[in-house]
Amino acid sequence: MRRALAFVIFAGFAGLAGFIFATGRPEIAPSSVVKEYDRKVLSQGEALAALGSCATCHTRQGGKPYSGGSSIQTPFGTIYSSNITPHKENGIGQWSLAAFARAMREGVSRTGAYLYPAFPYDHFSRVNDGDIEALYAYLMQGVAAQPDKTPANAMSFPFNIRQGLAVWNALFLNPVLPKSGPGQDAEWARGAYIAEGLGHCGACHSPRNILGAIDGKRAYAGAFVNGWYAPALDASSPSPIPWTKNALVNYLMDGWDKHHGLAAGSMGPVSTALRDQKEDDMFALAAYVVSLAGPPKSPQAQADAEKMAMARVEKTDWNPARDNAPPDATIDPGQRMFQTRCAECHKSGGKPAPLALNSALNLPDPTNVVRATLEGIRPPQGALDRSMPAYRNQITEADIVAVTKFMRARFTEREPWTNLEEVVRREIQRR
């Protein structure tokens, strides 16, 4: 239904674009003249590239940095990231600063072709001139040229007509930063610049409308993107202990916080990339993210929420002395699985954060829990001593369903997931 509607609307866009923008956007002439940037600008650009996760998307598994070719699945087809090394033919080696700035801000390639918003230019459009130039300097002079040809996209009709994006841009491209409200200072504004610009946090954490544009009214309400569910960061956050500024700085820079656990799934590389950012900037980002959940909580309200959650931890944490059941047929198979496979780590006083504090178990969708169990968890840099084995080839489909059901029931107060069997089957078939 949604797809059919998107089809009709986008086909209309493409037709409309054909009329209004018949000539498309002009090509920007190839140029090889690039001034020599100094080391300071290059290292500024390198840090900005990390903040923007450019390498995460623009490097396929086993490929050279920035040589492109990694795939992004969208509801409209598969898109491949471009080679953005300074290679003359297959990269951006012949791009002027003006061509690069236009791509980042307007989503138009040097040749004049429209780019798909899987490239988060709807966020990068908010990045200032100095930062754009530093990024350009780094990509042109700090990155080695690679000859890899970018694979052709596999978009379904009518989404394969790039012209249609002209209308998409007219409707949805909004290169302004949120205005600060009362009590929101320069630190908050810096955080907004990072999150809404290069950090493109909303690209994963915000739901999109049927045409793939971020739904402004539901910004940060949580979304399913490229195989992972990015939890809500607004007032509907599933986190049993509300996020504080300090907890966020730990999570974002170290990839782990004692009240929230590890940054897993597609958040892992984000946290790895944020590790070397300036601490001031990460506190600013945290100040902005905390504000997404509403006006600041009083220290008392935060303490009360923590106390309540810790009481639940006390009650539900696996305690071998109390919880280990004899291995007979009467106990729930999920509980037995947990006892024999998981409780050696996930027990009271164990190394992982208590599962009762884990957002993934509290999400509306079980995908993250199922994927963590199947694929294991490799820690982001900075949380190196934490990892979890992959159970893909160790336990059966029925075991995964049972243990996931058990964890949801034991560690949360939420309704059982209704699509669990379906998700487990889908994730077992992945790859």
Contact window for ligand HEC (CB under 6 A) among 29-37, 114-122, 180-188, 419-427:
114-122
Indicate the residue among 4 and 387 with the shorter CB distance to ligand HEC.
387
CA distances from 237 to 28, 241, 242 (A): 44, 10, 8
Indicate the residue among 6 and 244 with the shorter CB distance to ligand HEC.
244
CA atoms within 13 A on the CB side of 190: 13
Does residue 115 bind ligand HEC (CB under 6 A)? Answer: yes
Indicate the residue among 4 and 189 with the shorter CB distance to ligand HEC.
189
Q: Which residues inside 268-287 make contact with ligand HEC, applying CB under 6 A?
A: 270, 285
212/196 Cα distance (integer angstroms): 17
Question: Whose CB is nearest to ligand HEC?
Answer: 52
Does residue 261 bind ligand HEC (CB under 6 A)? Answer: yes
Using CB under 6 A, pick the residue from 17, 47, 134, 135 that binds ligand HEC. Answer: 135
Peptide bond into 158 cis (omega under 30): yes
Are the C-beta atoms of 91 and 103 separated by less than 8 Å? no
With a CB cutoff of 8 Å and minimum separation 6, the contacts of 84 are 54, 58, 66, 68, 91, 92, 139, 143
Does residue 357 bind ligand HEC (CB under 6 A)? Answer: no
Number of residues forming the site for ligand HEC (CB under 6 A): 77
Using CB under 6 A, pick the residue from 192, 241, 309, 342 that binds ligand HEC. Answer: 342
Q: Which residues inside 70-109 make contact with ligand HEC, applying CB under 6 A?
A: 72, 79, 81-82, 84, 92, 100, 103, 109
Using CB under 6 A, pick the residue from 58, 102, 259, 347 that binds ligand HEC. Answer: 58
Does residue 341 bind ligand HEC (CB under 6 A)? Answer: yes
Contact window for ligand HEC (CB under 6 A) among 181-189, 213-221, 243-251, 316-324:
243-251
Using CB under 6 A, pick the residue from 14, 143, 167, 204 that binds ligand HEC. Answer: 204
* Side chain identity, residue 120: P
Indicate the residue among 6 and 252 with the shorter CB distance to ligand HEC.
252
Does residue 69 bind ligand HEC (CB under 6 A)? Answer: no
With a CB cutoff of 8 Å and minimum separation 6, the contacts of 163 are 14, 17, 18, 21, 24, 114
Binding mask 166-185 for ligand HEC (x = CB under 6 A): --------------------
Q: What residue has token string 């918003």?
A: 117
Q: Which residues inside 292-321 make contact with ligand HEC, applying CB under 6 A?
A: none
Using CB under 6 A, pick the residue from 241, 287, 353, 423 that binds ligand HEC. Answer: 353
Residue whose C-alpha is closest to residue 403's, from 337, 342, 359, 353: 337
Does residue 53 bind ligand HEC (CB under 6 A)? Answer: yes
Does residue 373 bind ligand HEC (CB under 6 A)? Answer: yes
- Quickly count: other Cβ atoms within 10 Å of residue 397's Cβ: 12
Binding mask 10-49 for ligand HEC (x = CB under 6 A): ---------------------------------------x
CA distances from 385 to 92, 262, 323, 347 (A): 39, 11, 27, 17
- Quickly count: other Cβ atoms within 10 Å of residue 208's Cβ: 19
CA distances from 186 to 99, 123, 189, 279, 387 (A): 31, 20, 5, 15, 38
